[in-house]
């Protein structure tokens, strides 16, 4: 009888000790969920742009590249990406659909000195999500105060839904 009682007590103690790491892990997971919920309720744009982390950088345009529309970038027409150098570092700056920049007062060319305002979604990666570009007195605005892309308005989304898909004709084939 004593052996059974000792065995039961030992098993209970072992189960109790094994449950402790799980309890700590669950508490840690709950803490992370709460932290992520706080981030979600903060003003963070759909692409991860966080206005609270905005910074300004003086840069030189080192390359401009036109990109084709795709399901990844969601552009109606061709897009435009830029590479800039900031001191010893080069940054990739996706600008959005080409027509957005064409409607702005800033004209960019390789070698231009500009002031970028934006945020780095991951400090470890050389990417800057831009909200504003200044070149001299001219200012190009890409995001509102909450970090939402200026070209992703409800009206623009409606036009995008009606636009023909890349590689397809807008009109029916002729006979």
Q: pLDDT for 45-57, tens place per residue? A: 667 788 899 999 9
With a CB cutoff of 8 Å and minimum separation 6, the contacts of 46 are: 148, 152
What number of CA atoms fall less than 13 Å from residue 123's CA on the CB side?
Answer: 3
- Counted domains in the chain: 1
The pTM of the full predicted model, rounded to 2 decimals, is 0.62
Tell me which range, 7-21, 68-82, 115-129, 146-160, is most confidently predicted by mean pLDDT: 115-129
Task: Look up the CATH number of the domain holding residue 118.
Answer: 2.40.50.140
Q: Is 30 helix (H, G, I), strand (E, B) or coil?
A: helix
Q: pLDDT for 14-24, tens place per residue? A: 444 444 443 33
- Expressed as residue numbers, the domain containing 121 is 51-162
The Cα–Cα gap between 140 and 173 comes to: 39
Residue 45 counted as domain residue: no
Structure tokens at 172: 């029916």
């Amino acid at each position: 009888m004593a052996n059974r009682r000792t065995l039961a007590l030992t098993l209970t103690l072992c189960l109790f000790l094994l449950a402790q790491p799980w309890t700590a892990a669950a508490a840690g997971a709950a803490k992370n969920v709460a932290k992520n919920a706080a981030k979600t309720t903060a003003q963070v744009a759909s692409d991860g742009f966080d206005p609270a982390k905005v910074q300004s950088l003086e840069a030189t345009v080192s390359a401009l590249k036109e990109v084709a529309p795709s399901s990844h970038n969601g552009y109606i027409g061709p897009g435009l990406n830029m590479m800039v150098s900031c001191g010893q570092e080069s940054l990739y700056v996706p600008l959005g659909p080409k027509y957005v920049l064409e409607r702005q007062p800033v004209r960019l060319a390789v070698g231009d000195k500009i002031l970028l305002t934006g945020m780095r979604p991951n400090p470890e990666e050389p990417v800057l999500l831009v909200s504003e570009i200044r070149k001299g007195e001219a200012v190009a605005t890409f995001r509102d105060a909450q970090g939402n892309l200026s070209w992703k308005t409800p009206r623009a989304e409606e036009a995008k839904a009606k636009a023909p898909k890349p590689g397809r004709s807008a009109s029916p084939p002729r006979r």
